Amino acid sequence: MELLYPSSLYCLCCGKYTDGSRSYSLCDHCISRMDFAMREFVLPAAGEAAGGQCDEAGRAAAAGGQTDEDGRAAAAAGQTGGIGLSAMGYGLYERQLIFALKYSGKTYVARHIAAILFDCLKKRLAESGDCPWLRADVIVPVPLHAEKQRLRGFNQAERIAFHLSRQTGIPLADGVLLRVRNTRPQRALSAEERKNNMEGAFALSAQRAAAVKGKRVLLIDDIFTTGATAATCAEALRKGGAARVDFLALAAVVRSGKNCADQARPLE
């Protein structure tokens, strides 16, 4: 089927035919409406994972308003849960891309999302001369509960992490982190409810915990909202012996006095 209808010939977001030469297999219309601004934030400790949206200037609202520089310094000093980075904002077009992977079964989208993330990391390195995320020893995806993964057929974070591992050369440590409790969907929950929903939801596999012991871990997910999921995962990894946990997501919910759906332009 891929030989007859190559996925690269169609925009991942709107499905429009392209000539196969577009970046990330996105048409000019869709890519021009996406927010490709990098945003850095301090990953909150598990008990503080509330109000963790990023503002439009890339400030770390997830850590009570610290700036990017403050956040990097605090994380380096071991005073926080780690540093987070997102490659995009989260509006209608970015959501369309994520939903194509998660809910339409288009697993090939994960390769293109990984390419966006890798380019984001390379840009961060070129602009600042440093990129902590590229110094990771292993990549760990945020896990789905076994029942949810059975119903979906795959874990979108694992698919993204797999391709990012191949592109960066950082080994993938899949199956290390487990979701031991089937939590409620986060979408309709408040920041406080998200934090409570994630409490005790993750643990390390006893058989595979050695893969992260003493290692710098790059935790991968598709989206960052309040930080509840990322913070709880990071806490479980640190308890299992990880030396440091940094976080990377395709998109971050942006704070601007409106929610992301309000500020995004409609699909045309």
Instruction: Using alpha carbons, select from 28, 1, 32, 2 the residue that is nearest to residue 16.
Output: 28
Contact 66, 113 (CB under 8 A): no
CA distances from 140 to 134, 213, 218 (A): 13, 13, 6
pTM of the entire predicted model:
0.82
Q: 218: Cβ–Cβ under 8 A, 6 or more apart, which residues? A: 133, 136, 138, 139, 140, 170, 246, 247, 248
- What is the reported pLDDT for 47? 58
Rounded-to-integer distance, Cα 252 and Cα 52, Å = 10
pLDDT tens, position by position, 124-170:
999 999 999 999 999 999 999 999 999 999 999 999 999 999 999 99
Confidence of residue 70 (pLDDT cuts 50, 70, 90): very low
Dump the DSSP string for 208-240.
TGGGTTT-EEEEEEEEESSSHHHHHHHHHHHHT
Which two structure tokens, joined as six digits, stand for 178?
Answer: 């487990």
Confidence of residue 186 (pLDDT cuts 50, 70, 90): low
| Number of residues in the chain | 268
Rounded-to-integer distance, Cα 264 and Cα 213, Å = 41
Rounded-to-integer distance, Cα 218 and Cα 244, Å = 9
- In order of their start, the domains of the chain are 1-33 (no CATH), 35-257 (3.40.50)
Q: DSSP letter for 4, please.
A: T
